[in-house]
Amino acid sequence: MRIALFATCLADTMFPAAAKATVQLLERLGHEVVFPEEQTCCGQMHVNTGYQKEALPLVRRYVRTFESCDVIVAPSGSCVGSIRHQHAMVARQAGEEGLASRAETVAGRTYELSELLIDVLKVEDVGAYYPHRVTYHPTCHSLRVLRVGDRPLRLLRQVRGLDLVELPAAEQCCGFGGTFAVKNADTSTAMLADKMRHVLDTGADVCTAGDASCLMHIGGGLSRLQSGVRTVHLAEILASTEAGS
Amino acid sequence: MSSKELILGRIRQALGSSPAEPDIPRDYRTGAAPVDLDLLVERLVDYKAVVHRTSDVSGAIAEIIGSGTLVVPPGLPGEWLPPEVPVRRDDGLSAAEIAAADGVVTAAAVAVVETGTIVLDASDDQGRRILSLLPDLHICVLRPEQVVASVPEAVAQLEPTRPLTWISGPSATSDIELNRVEGVHGPRNLHVILWETA
Amino acid sequence: MSTFLGMPAYAPRGVGHLRGDEPFPEAARTALANPQLRRNLQHATTTIRGKSGAVIAELPDWQELRSAGSALKAYTMANLPRLLEQLEERVTAAGGVVHWAADATEANRIVTDLVKATGEQRVIKIKSMATMEIGLNEALEDAGITPVETDLAELIVQLGHDKPSHILVPAIHRNRSEIREIFLSEMPGVDPDLTDDPPVLAAAARRYLRETFLSTKVAVSGANFGIAETGTLAVVESEGNGRMCLTLPETLITVMGIEKLVPTWQDLEVFLQLLPRASTGERMNPYTSMWTGVAPGDGPQNFHLVLLDNGRTAVLADEVGRQALHCIRCSACLNVCPVYERTGGHAYGSVYPGPIGAILSPQLTGVEDNASLPYASSLCGACFDACPVKIDIPSILVHLRNQVPHPRAERTAMAAAAYTMDHPKLYERAQKAARLAKLLGKRGRGLPPPLNGWSSSRDLPTPPSETFRDWWRGR
């Protein structure tokens, strides 16, 4: 299958390993990956911070860039959530009904990685090998906007060598929330403190998730604590093999 | 312009010309379902009511009230009352007189299995609302045919313009650390006599 | 002129409790620095989440009930003028008197005048969000009338000279030993050997209020539901203080927001299933009282219903935001909110805290007066899932963020970022600049506000040696 990658601005710029791993994983499974270079950002930060008008060109750009693709994947539950639940709304509020219906069509073909693997590619065992003790944080937007459910866990359970440990209070937000983390830094930090305590309680050496943004937040806190626990994107784990990724 | 006209004008302005009016999906459970009396008892007990299943109402009341005194509504069946217990019928008793009684006996209008609720509708055998409120012990006599399975069935059976009191267990509060604690202003003891004729 | 007068209006300033003294982030800092408060909140919200989850799981048709509740409220809003007039007609026919209050000031005046007319100097009150919202207690006190709160949590707040911090349990921020201290120092005639055992504390409140219940001739209540079809009002409670107030006095004055309407008697079958399970986590709350006007010989023989706007029509005027009026005040959204759990209710500055408060207060007052509240959320979505009438709180928060006046520097930065993101060449140049952020080091020393908020507790990610698109082109 020919799959277009929406890398997301955050992974493209700051966490390329997650996007690279998505490419390597899909190619290993026998698919062709394309990367339309006109892509930039989905506009979620603008919409969620109250700059819907400013997000409009980014919605238009996303639609134009990916309109010709049959299947689009992004290694981020949060960006896919925005594409699926906000793009058409942004266009509609701007009075661009035509763009709104195109946005709906493209959004219908855009998948978060675990959705693509399980629902479209019908694969749970991706042949990965990852000999670590791992705990999974089900980021809010994957969980409650996209409703990916246990898809990421089903994928992780098939990874050889991986010791999956349950994260207590897993469904509680890590406190990132985009600009929330700076506008309400103290509250965000208090939420993060509880999330980190739960991660450390598991004894895992890796905390994984389907969103680079939440991982940046949790990872930033764990690094400040010098805890020794790493944050690794789900795609990177699934891309790992015995031969090395 | 009166405040009524002002507010209604504001509402019309806010709603615009043709506000969308949704259909109301009523695909939740309605209609009669089988009544499980054992479950009713379980639910009542779960909320700290004491349940007596008996064909001998006056015997059960005598046992509950012991040497105490009772107030009862004007239409409560006389044969329910144990002859040896001092009883005052409400013929316009004062609040102080009602509060001085050790217990009150009422019938009920309907009971709900799923929630462990009894509903009083101020009929003659249930009395004024104050009657079942001030004594610290409320004894409620329930006949099995008054019991329904669910809240929608109870709502359908009740007459809304009567004063209604829905009771699920004795007086309680969740105001201290959000845990249910029994015993605040209403009767701290609720006994339900399920009158099952043999 | 009449068109102008009929424009929806916000709740007026200077009266009531819808506006805080400081923005949310500053107010939250105080709460976050209080470890006892955080322990109390965590304990209470964890308890209620567990209880509520268990009794909701017992109902096979919970989702169908939520959908029905949501649709019923939308129907009510769409038909509000007709339903309000119907309610007025039915209440009047049943011997009640209906008053209309355009705002807090008018409602306070109506209630105060009604109490004065009875000649009484004391009223007993059932916990009511509407009367807290309009600051009725202060208005009564100004008129020389003593309002006595009879709900246990309200009593704790009133005796402790405190402010409510939760919709359902206004004293949620107090634990049992703090409540004991308040009772010991503030409750006249209290047993000096009082322990902090919750049943003992509840019994102390029972003894303290008993005589007041029996001797007070006027009560003030709110209403959970007002049924247009029959004119019936309903109060849902636990302790029996509601029954006392609704039954013993000679005069009852009920203040009800115009959004509390329910179209028909049958519709209660939905809300009576949704509210207790979502709210206190009970299959049914201990007591629900329903009354229609005046019942001869039973309960108050004088009944007044005050219908309150106070900004509600302004909420109704916003097609997206009006869903906030569907709220049945269960407080499930507070109990699941990770922000509320850490900051508590006082940080929101309004009597409506938590996620529902973050969308309701700014709409009642106009967003300018509560500009920080729409941002008091990480948009995690737990509130939407928990809401028994399916109010899409995260979407309304985002919607309101669009209406908030933005700080100039932020506006400039956001516009520049959007422009950059829409020009791939500029975007690539910015990506390279991001790598220069290496110079900031992990701790991000020297970052300007608000970005230093990040680096105060979190390291910055180490910028990669190449972007993804560099790697893609090079392979």
Taking the CB of residue C162, how many other CB atoms lie within 10 A of it? 16
Q: Report how far residue C340's alpha carbon sits from residue C338's, in angstroms, rounded to the nearest whole number.
A: 6
Is a pLDDT exceeding 80 seen at residue B78? yes
The token duo for C240 is: 């029996």
Total domain count, chain C? 1
Total domain count, chain A? 2
Contact C225, C234 (CB under 8 A): yes
Distance from CA of A49 to the nearest CA of C (A): 6
- Which stretch of DSSP H or E encloses residue C398? helix C393-401
pLDDT of residue C4: 55
Q: Does residue A145 sit in the same domain as residue A235?
A: yes
Chain C residues in contact with A190 (beta carbon < 8 A): 32, 38, 342
Region B153-162 average pLDDT: 97
Q: Is C375 in a helix, a strand, or coil?
A: helix
pLDDT of residue C452: 84
Candidates C154, A110, C232; CA nearest to B161 is: C232
Establish if C145 belongs to a structural domain. no
State which residues of chain C have pLDDT below 70. 1-5
Q: Report how far residue A47's alpha carbon sits from residue A53's, in angstroms, rounded to the nearest whole number.
A: 8
* Smallest CA–CA distance from B152 into chain C, residue: C269
What whole-number percentage of chain A has pLDDT above 90?
Answer: 98
User: C226 Cβ partners below 8 Å, 6+ apart?
Assistant: C87, C232, C233, C234, C256, C260, C261, C262, C305
Q: Does residue A226 sit in the same domain as residue A198?
A: yes
User: B186 Cβ partners below 8 Å, 6+ apart?
Assistant: B133, B170, B171, C239, C240, C243, C244, C286, C287
- Domains of chain B, by residue range, sit at 34-195
Chain B residues in contact with C297 (beta carbon < 8 A): 128
Chains B and A touch (3+ CB pairs under 8 A): no
Establish if A244 belongs to a structural domain. no
Q: Within A1-43, where are the H helices?
A: 9-13, 16-28
Chain B residues in contact with C233 (beta carbon < 8 A): none
Establish if C253 belongs to a structural domain. no
> What rounded mean pLDDT belongs to chain A?
97
Query: Between chains, do C450 and A14 touch, taking CB under 8 Å as contact?
Result: no
C467: domain range?
422-474
Write out pLDDT tens, residues A202-223.
999 999 999 999 999 999 999 9
Contact B153, B100 (CB under 8 A): no
Q: Report how far residue A207's alpha carbon sits from residue A236's, in angstroms, rounded to the nearest whole number.
A: 12
pLDDT band at residue A244 under the 50/70/90 scheme: low
pLDDT band at residue A41 under the 50/70/90 scheme: very high
Among A residues 162-181, those touching chain C with beta carbons less than 8 Å apart: 171-173, 175-181
Query: Between chains, do A43 and C418 touch, taking CB under 8 Å as contact?
Result: yes
* Smallest CA–CA distance from B8 into chain C, residue: C81
Q: Give A108-162 as a DSSP string.
A: HTEEEHHHIIIIIS--S----B--SEEEE---HIIIIIS--TTHHHHHHHTSBT-
| Selected residue of A87, A186, A224 to mutate for chain C interface (largest C Cβ count, 10 A) | A186
Q: Does residue A7 sit in the same domain as residue A116?
A: yes
User: A221 Cβ partners below 8 Å, 6+ apart?
Assistant: A189, A192, A193, A195, A196, C457, C458, C459
Is a pLDDT exceeding 60 seen at residue A245? no
> What rounded mean pLDDT belongs to chain C?
94
Q: Report how far residue B129's alpha carbon sits from residue B106's, in angstroms, rounded to the nearest whole number.
A: 11
C65 touches chain B (CB under 8 A): yes
Write out pLDDT tens, residues A131-167.
999 999 999 999 999 999 999 999 999 999 999 999 9
Among C residues 201-220, those touching chain B with beta carbons less than 8 Å apart: 201-203, 205-206, 209-210, 213-214
Q: Does residue A175 sit in the same domain as residue A150?
A: yes
A17: domain range?
2-120
Chains A and C touch (3+ CB pairs under 8 A): yes
CATH number at residue A200: 3.40.50
pLDDT of residue B98: 97
Q: Report how far residue C96's alpha carbon sits from residue C302's, in angstroms, rounded to the nearest whole number.
A: 7
Q: Report how far residue A100's alpha carbon sits from residue C87's, in angstroms, rounded to the nearest whole number.
A: 42
- The CATH code that applies to domain B34-195 is 3.40.50.10420
Q: Does residue A84 sit in the same domain as residue A145?
A: no
Q: Report how far residue C31's alpha carbon sits from residue A16's, in angstroms, rounded to the nearest whole number.
A: 39
Write out pLDDT tens, residues B112-150.
999 999 999 999 999 999 999 999 999 999 999 999 999
Establish if C440 belongs to a structural domain. yes
C407 touches chain A (CB under 8 A): no
Establish if C439 belongs to a structural domain. yes
Taking the CB of residue B143, how many other CB atoms lie within 10 A of it? 15
Q: Does residue A231 sit in the same domain as residue A173?
A: yes
pLDDT of residue C5: 62
- The whole model's pTM is what? 0.96
Establish if A128 belongs to a structural domain. no
* Smallest CA–CA distance from C31 into chain A, residue: A187
Residue at A178: amino acid letter: G
Establish if A126 belongs to a structural domain. no
Nearest to B13 among C6, C68, C299 (CB): C6
Chain A residues in contact with C450 (beta carbon < 8 A): 182-183, 185
A196 touches chain C (CB under 8 A): no
